[in-house]
């Protein structure tokens, strides 16, 4: 999969916490990945947004499940320089290998980085 977006993130949201994987340029031609866990409370989401901005992330992919995506999506939508992508859970449910939150956020990050066109949005 060709990488079109150099600085992107993938978020796996839960009710209490979210796992976030960022992909940024590393040494040479390699990219650097980092995964962190944040609370889904207001302070945690603001800390997440600040971390994304500090790493100059331009695109954030997240899975649309239940309504847990709404607070983060609206926060990022209001943040200049970050483009939130809401991905349909039906289209990304086939995570390679064993399913974990850690692997989910990495997979969502890969999808956000490697797609040249905007994914079909999920219903709000």
**Stretch (H or E) spanning 71:** helix 70-77
Would you state the pLDDT for residue 3? 47
With contact defined as beta carbons under 8 Å apart, do 5 and 108 qualify? no
Would you state the pLDDT for residue 19? 93
**Stretch (H or E) spanning 106:** helix 101-114
d(CA 111, CA 8): 10
Would you state the pLDDT for residue 56? 95
With contact defined as beta carbons under 8 Å apart, do 8 and 60 qualify? yes
Cβ neighbours for 63, distance < 8 A, ≥ 6 positions apart: 11, 12, 13, 69, 87, 89, 92, 104, 108
Would you state the pLDDT for residue 110? 83
Would you state the pLDDT for residue 99? 66
Would you state the pLDDT for residue 64? 73
Q: Which residues of the chain have pLDDT under 50?
A: 1, 3, 116-117, 120-121, 124
Would you state the pLDDT for residue 1? 43
């Amino acid at each position: 999969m060709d990488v079109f977006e150099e600085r992107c993130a993938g978020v796996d949201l839960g009710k209490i916490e979210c796992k976030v994987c960022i992909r940024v340029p590393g040494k040479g031609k390699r990219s650097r990945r980092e995964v962190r866990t944040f609370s889904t409370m207001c302070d945690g989401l603001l800390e997440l947004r600040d971390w994304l901005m500090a790493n100059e992330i331009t695109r954030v992919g997240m899975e649309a499940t239940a309504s847990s995506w709404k607070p983060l999506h609206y926060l990022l939508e209001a943040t200049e320089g970050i483009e939130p992508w809401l991905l349909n859970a039906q289209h990304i449910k086939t995570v390679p290998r064993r399913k974990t939150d850690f692997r989910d956020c990495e997979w969502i990050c890969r999808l956000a980085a490697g797609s040249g066109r905007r994914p079909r949005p999920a219903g709000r």
